[in-house]
Amino acid sequence: MPMTNKTAFITGASSGLGLVTSKELAAFGFDIVMTARGKERLEKAGEDLANQYPKSTITTQVLDVSNFDEVRSFAKEFSGPIDVLMNNAGVMGPDFSLSVDGIESQMAINHLGHFVLTKALWKQLGKAAAPRVISLSSTVHRRGKLKSLGLAQLKGANQKNYDRWQRYADSKLACLLFARELDLRTKQSGSKVISIAAHPGWAVTGLQDNFPNRFDRFAQTAKQGARSQIMAATGTDLAGGEFVGPSRELWGEPKLIKGTKQSRDLDLMKQLWELSEVATGETFEL
């Protein structure tokens, strides 16, 4: 079904799942706002996309979602309606580092930066007829451990406690919890925005560049992995609160899935939201 005169805003759009999603939504007729941290690769990706889909307006903007002030400043300059906000940018298992706001990089990029971005673009989402926010989780959310969540744990600024893979799992659980809490709050407030979570399964994207594995040849391509978030963005029978992932967990056509019991913990969802407000200095009231 054509999606002309609609705009999709996609973070991490210069490669991997974000680039595939940009292409697929442009093929649907969306205008695309592509953001990423690296200027050269982003501009090349945007130029290629504009040549491939001349009927779509392709805009590129360098944006580091882990820099909360940068996110806020950019959002102030963006006035048009947003039909789909694809919170796609992510990092996986990097060496320990802190964002400019003093937050461990995986949580800053994967969850907290998108928390700030979603809030900063809320008015623009409200200008669209049927807006959606898509949050990217992962199958490894199953290994997330946020039960005893506190502000120090969320920020993760103590290098001595850093476990790169546990931190990645925690950040992806946070993405799913955020998507579900956002859905509850939109419904309670009467907002027309719907919130959906998605995960790609096992798909080889730029995230694996630093961790090559001989079994990667069995993984899905980025195009196959992106099917879940494409369904989340374009599925006509979604009402908000859904979690979309591959039919066989790591592989397959997208379908609706449940996720873990912890990812549906109402108290934890609320706690994460409130701590995210404190960690970012951003009160997010719908």
User: CA-CA distance, 168 to 138, in Å (whole number)?
Assistant: 9
Nearest Cα to Cα of residue 86 among 197, 235, 204 = 197
Torsion region of 190: left, alpha or beta (phi above 0 gives left; psi -120 to 50 gives alpha) = left
Q: Which amino acid is at 8?
A: A
Look up residue 203 and give its DSSP letter: B
Q: What angle do CA 80, 83, 84 make, to 5 degrees?
A: 120
Residue 260 one-letter amino acid: T
Edge to edge, what strands does the sheet with 243-246 contain?
58-62, 31-36, 7-10, 84-87, 132-136, 194-198, 243-246, 254-256
Which residues are tagged catalytic? Answer: 168
Query: In angstroms, rounded to a whole number, what is the distance separating the alpha carbons of residues 174 and 241?
Result: 15
